[in-house]
């Protein structure tokens, strides 16, 4: 793994989900990297500069390396999409987990990734939403969704159980992010601790029924603090238009910010995660020291 942080940048490789880390100290912007194969390009310092991304037409499965005409489940070839537990429909709909039936596509993977503690959380990404994630994916999951703040609500024993809880919560709260609103930076402030307590009261009966079936300790309400995130965005887009590498293989513009898994350019936004597995060349010109002038 090499860290490319000196300009000019000219790196080619297969796109992966952008690694992000919460700002340190607290309150400072999330730090993003563009990952191309084994190379990592620090993105925060490129904000304000022209960049380009050029897709060379080759997509390689991130699991088996095979060239695939189309990317399935964000970066996989068709056979892997059909074979891997990570691409099964229960990943999108955790309440449909079928591990207990002995039909998990990869029981070892399921044991390590689904039969472990999950967090049911509330986040403010484009408004209030409920979501679930593996305990170890906090706060990565929140940053990937572009949440400005998030709070754990419950800790539950398994992925499926978190899915059942989420289904109950969805009757009262959204479970999706409106990515256009998220990218415009138009979030309204919410008191997530208050929202958490309100929602817990609304789903109390359902939670009791689930505890009766799965054990009293299987769903634990938690009083954990919320976390705030600020994103490295210099200019918010007025109108959100998205670039599509399948239609226009070369995308260029001034990098104005990064939020969630999106790059915000003055020419439009691009969802990097959508192009996982795409072989691209990423360029940023030399830093003359006054490129922001
Ligand atoms: Zn594959």
Structure tokens at 200: 């817990």
Mean pLDDT of 262-289: 90
Each residue's pLDDT tens digit, 203-218: 999 999 999 999 999 9
CA 276 to ligand 1 centroid distance, Å: 13
What is the chain's mean pLDDT, rounded?
93
CA 38 to ligand 1 centroid distance, Å: 18
Q: What CA–CA distance (Å, rounded) separates 38 from 52?
A: 19
C-alpha distance from residue 73 to each of 59, 97, 201, 270, 276 (Å): 13, 17, 36, 17, 9
CA 70 to ligand 1 centroid distance, Å: 11
Instruction: Report strand pairing: 39-42 vs 2-4.
Output: parallel
CA 162 to ligand 1 centroid distance, Å: 29
Q: What CA–CA distance (Å, rounded) separates 16 from 11?
A: 13
CA 263 to ligand 1 centroid distance, Å: 26
CA 30 to ligand 1 centroid distance, Å: 31
Q: What CA–CA distance (Å, rounded) separates 94 from 85?
A: 12
Each residue's pLDDT tens digit, 32-48: 999 999 999 999 999 99
Q: What is the pLDDT of residue 6?
A: 52
CA 108 to ligand 1 centroid distance, Å: 19
Q: What is the pLDDT of residue 7?
A: 66
CA 71 to ligand 1 centroid distance, Å: 10
Any idea of the CA torsion for 3, 5, 11, 15, to the nearest 10 degrees? 60
C-alpha distance from residue 34 to each of 241, 258, 273 (Å): 21, 10, 11
Predicted confidence band at 275 (pLDDT cuts at 50, 70, 90)?
Answer: very high
pLDDT above 90 for 51: yes
Q: What CA–CA distance (Å, rounded) separates 146 from 141?
A: 9
Q: What is the pLDDT of residue 138?
A: 94
| pTM of the shown model | 0.92
SS (H, E, C) 12-75: EEEEECCCEECCCCCCCECEEEEEECCEEEECHHHCCCEEEEEEEEEEECCCCCCECCCCECCC
CA 67 to ligand 1 centroid distance, Å: 8
CA 79 to ligand 1 centroid distance, Å: 6
Instruction: Report strand pairing: 31-36 vs 262-265.
Output: unpaired
Structure tokens at 137: 């994916």
Each residue's pLDDT tens digit, 182-194: 999 988 899 999 9
pLDDT above 90 for 286: no
Q: Give phi and psi for 142, each to the nearest 5.
A: -65, -40
Q: What is the pLDDT of residue 292?
A: 44
Each residue's pLDDT tens digit, 124-178: 999 999 999 999 999 999 999 999 999 999 999 999 999 999 999 999 999 999 9
Least confident of 19-33, 73-87, 121-135, 274-288: 274-288
CA 62 to ligand 1 centroid distance, Å: 7
CA 278 to ligand 1 centroid distance, Å: 13
């Amino acid at each position: 793994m090499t860290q490319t942080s000196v300009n000019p940048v000219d790196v080619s490789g297969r796109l992966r989900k952008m690694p992000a880390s919460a700002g340190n100290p607290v309150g400072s912007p999330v730090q993003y990297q563009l990952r191309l194969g084994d190379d990592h390009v620090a993105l925060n310092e490129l904000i304000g500069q022209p960049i380009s991304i050029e897709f060379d037409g080759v997509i390689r499965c991130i699991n088996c390396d095979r060239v695939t005409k189309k990317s399935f489940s964000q970066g996989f070839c068709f056979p892997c999409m059909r074979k891997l537990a990570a691409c099964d429909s229960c990943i999108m709909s955790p309440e449909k987990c079928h591990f207990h039936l002995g039909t998990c596509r990869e029981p070892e993977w399921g044991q390590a990734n689904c039969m472990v503690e999950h967090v049911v959380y509330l986040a403010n990404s484009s408004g209030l939403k409920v979501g679930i994630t593996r305990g170890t994916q906090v706060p990565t999951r929140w940053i990937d969704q572009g949440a400005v703040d998030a709070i754990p609500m419950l800790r539950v024993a398994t992925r499926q159980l978190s899915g059942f809880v989420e289904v109950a919560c969805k009757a009262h709260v959204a479970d999706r992010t409106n990515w256009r609103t998220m990218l415009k930076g138009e979030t309204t402030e919410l008191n997530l601790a208050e929202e958490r307590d309100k929602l817990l009261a609304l789903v109390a009966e359902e939670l009791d029924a689930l505890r009766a079936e799965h054990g009293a300790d299987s769903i634990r309400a938690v009083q954990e603090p919320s976390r705030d995130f600020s994103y490295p965005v210099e200019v918010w887009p007025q109108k959100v238009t998205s670039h599509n590498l399948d239609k226009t293989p070369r995308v260029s513009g001034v990098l104005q910010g990064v939020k969630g898994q999106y790059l915000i350019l003055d020419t439009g936004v691009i969802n990097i995660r959508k192009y996982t597995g795409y072989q691209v060349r990423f360029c940023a010109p030399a830093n003359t020291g006054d490129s922001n002038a």
